[in-house]
Amino acid sequence: MATEITVPALGESVTEGTIGEWLKKPGDAVAVDEPICSLETDKVAIEVPSSVAGVISELKAEVGDTVEVGAVIALVEAGATPAATGENAGRAAQQRDESKAAPAETQASDASQTLSPAVRRAVLEHGIDPSTVKGTGKDGRLTKEDVIAAAKVRGDTPATAPAEAAAPATAPATASTSGRNTERVKMTRLRQTIAKRLKSAQDNAALLTTFNDVDMTAVIEARTKYKDLFAKKHDIKLGFMGFFAKAAHLALKDVPSVNAQIDGDEIVYHDYIDISVAVSAPNGLVVPVVRDVDKKGFAQIEKDIAGFGKAARDGTLTMADMTGGTFTISNGGVFGSLMSTPIINPPQSAVLGLHRIEDRAVVVNGEIVIRPMMYIALSYDHRLVDGREAVTALKIIKEAIEDPTRMLIDL
């Protein structure tokens, strides 16, 4: 008798998700707790494991389908082997033919891997044999970046492939008479949620941004002096984010409205500081939460951030990682941004935007000198945070970065 695999509980207030990718197909063997599909929710992508060991006999949903918590998405013949599925063999073979997600050439060259649509396109475009590339994704899975990196090492240009092979079967490329192509790809649930939340922030909050610039000399000197000792003792690199998180801690403590939020006709003040740190994931920007920043040291903050970054890349962030947060820090500088006006992360009331560091001429003690400078921006909800409070908070952050001793003596 087949065992039903259902959509697990997805967290508070989340009742459904979207099938993002099948990691197994009918006829494939599966172990207990082995993931069979990737499920996208409003906040994160999670993997759904099999509750029994056996063989996948049937898939009950297709990629892109929306499924509710508790819905049956697959059947597993417990204890069966790929060669002994009995009456399910014909049905499994038919489903395999109907749901082939990769061209024959790709399957022949790498029958042991399950490739995502993006990876399959990259494999075709660059003419790479996936069996020759070491995957860096979760469980050694191949990523699009792995394929592109292999193509760069080989020095090849993308292989010419028909438009219909380069695009998903559900969204074929449309070629014009001039030979230019377009491709339609359905937005992921995560991307749709990001779009709705950002637009909601603009519609419902009175957004305003204040700017300042920061001389990064002291922080750079501190990192240069102590980075080796820090890494040796704590087994983590000393980054810039730890400094800004601790500087934000001072600002939020002195200006509590920046760490508060509006709930109906009430203001909710927090006596703790949980900072959401924006990190890049394959499907978009996510904001896991570093909790109790006011109680943690540099090393633990850096470890938390590094762990979230890896989890985001591997697609293993959990709902708990994303829940809460009283303030956000977003670092566009890692991508080369000079200046921006970040959008708050509702229901939070403020977000700090960091940007790239560049040498600029500034006046210090009446002399023109060259210093490593960074523009910083604080976007805030003017319904709750007054201009004076926003400017004060940003100034505290600036002063703490320019004189890190302030963070040690709580000044």
Name the H helices within 335-411.
387-402, 405-408
355, 332 in Cβ contact below 8 A? Answer: yes
Beta strands 350-364 and 327-331: pairing type? Answer: parallel
Name the residue with tokens 């900072």: 275
Q: Mean pLDDT of all residues in the chain?
A: 82
pLDDT value of residue 146: 82
pLDDT value of residue 11: 65
pLDDT value of residue 112: 42
What is the CA 92 to chain-centroid distance, rounded?
35
Q: Residue 386 catalytic?
A: yes
Q: Residue 270 catalytic?
A: no
The CA distances from residue 147 to 126, 129, 137, in Å, are 8, 9, 12
The pLDDT > 90 percentage for the chain reads 43
Read off the pLDDT of residues 296-351 as tens digits, 9 standing for 90 and up. Answer: 999 999 999 999 988 888 878 887 888 889 999 999 998 899 999 999 988 999 99
- pLDDT of residue 26 exceeding 80, the answer is yes
pLDDT value of residue 187: 78
Read off the pLDDT of residues 301-312 as tens digits, 9 standing for 90 and up. Answer: 999 999 998 888
Residues 6+ apart with CB under 8 A from 255: 389, 392, 393, 396
Greatest mean pLDDT among 15-24, 26-35, 72-81, 308-317 lies in 26-35
Read off the pLDDT of residues 49-106 as tens digits, 9 standing for 90 and up. Answer: 898 899 999 999 988 888 888 899 999 988 766 654 444 444 544 544 544 444 444 4
- In what side-by-side order are the strands of the sheet with 45-49? 45-49, 35-40, 16-22, 66-68
pLDDT value of residue 83: 57
Residue from 106, 114, 86, 109 nearest 22 by CA? 114
As a whole number of angstroms, the distance between CA 270 and CA 273 comes to 7
What is the CA 300 to chain-centroid distance, rounded?
20
C-alpha angle with apex 191: 128 to 166, nearest 5 degrees?
A: 30
* HSE toward the beta carbon, residue 27, CA cutoff 13 A: 12
pLDDT value of residue 118: 62
pLDDT value of residue 404: 92
As a whole number of angstroms, the distance between CA 339 and CA 344 comes to 16
pLDDT band at 408 (very low <50, low <70, confident <90, very high): confident
Read off the pLDDT of residues 187-198 as tens digits, 9 standing for 90 and up. Answer: 777 778 778 888
Hey, what domains does the chain have and what are their CATH numbers? 1-99 (2.40.50.100), 107-186 (no CATH), 191-408 (3.30.559.10)
Read off the pLDDT of residues 242-265 as tens digits, 9 standing for 90 and up. Answer: 999 999 999 999 999 999 999 999
Residues 6+ apart with CB under 8 A from 125: 158, 159, 161, 166
Tokens standing for residue 83: 């060669």
As a whole number of angstroms, the distance between CA 250 and CA 399 comes to 10
Q: Which of 65, 228, 386, 403 is catalytic?
A: 386
